[in-house]
Amino acid sequence: MPKFYFDPGHGGSDSGAVGNGLKEKDITLSIAKAMEKYLKENYEDVQIKMSRIDDTFPTLTERTNEANEWGADCFVSIHINAHTNTAAKGFSSYVYPNPGADTIAFQNVLHEEIMRAIGGNNITDRGKLQANFHVLRESNMKACLTENLFISNPSDAALLKKNDVLNQFAKGHALGLVKFYGLKQKTVSPPPSSTLYRVIAGTFSSEENARKQVDRLKADGYESYIDVK
């Protein structure tokens, strides 16, 4: 049963990047919660821990320490990018420099599934990159940090204001984990067969009266017949 550690970037007094009426800390938490919901509703044997579930600010050290002590199989940190150049836009993912083959494979799958999920929005793919970020350096497991569009770019920000786009990002992250770890989809039990209720319109000792009742019901548009006991 794989253990997934989700880290919605920033939180509390640390709003992260701000722009176009948005705060990074709010968007990252929305995406992480949607990731958790999607996986728990659709896949079996998944354990998920989040660095925060509300507007609080665990330190970077607290986040990586918790993931390490829990024995997480992977660490996924969700962020929103920003730049002084408001033309900068798009999606990118990061791992720690000089990663092992397993981490490279993890980034490849996660990045590709996210780009596939958001592909209908004409989003720029800024590539699979490497950086000396604390959460990547200090985590003991496979770790990937995603930068989900630029809050400073008007067109990217317009997408980040749409719940369906945030859900696409969340689903892309989730499906990357599904593919990499080979998660088993939950089987949906078929609904119980419909129960039928029979209405008895009377019991008669006289056949003539029984036929009159059948005729009255048929005249009102109800299918009727005589059952002789």
Residues involved in catalysis: 147
8 Å CB contact between 28 and 10? yes
Determine the Cα–Cα distance for residues 98 and 80; give it in Å rounded to an integer.
24
**Closest residue by Cα to residue 148 from 131, 130, 165:** 165
| Exposed/middle/buried for residue 133 (C-beta within 10 Å: 0-12, 13-18, 19+) | middle
How far CA 103 is from CA of 25, 61, 142, in Å, comes to 26, 21, 5
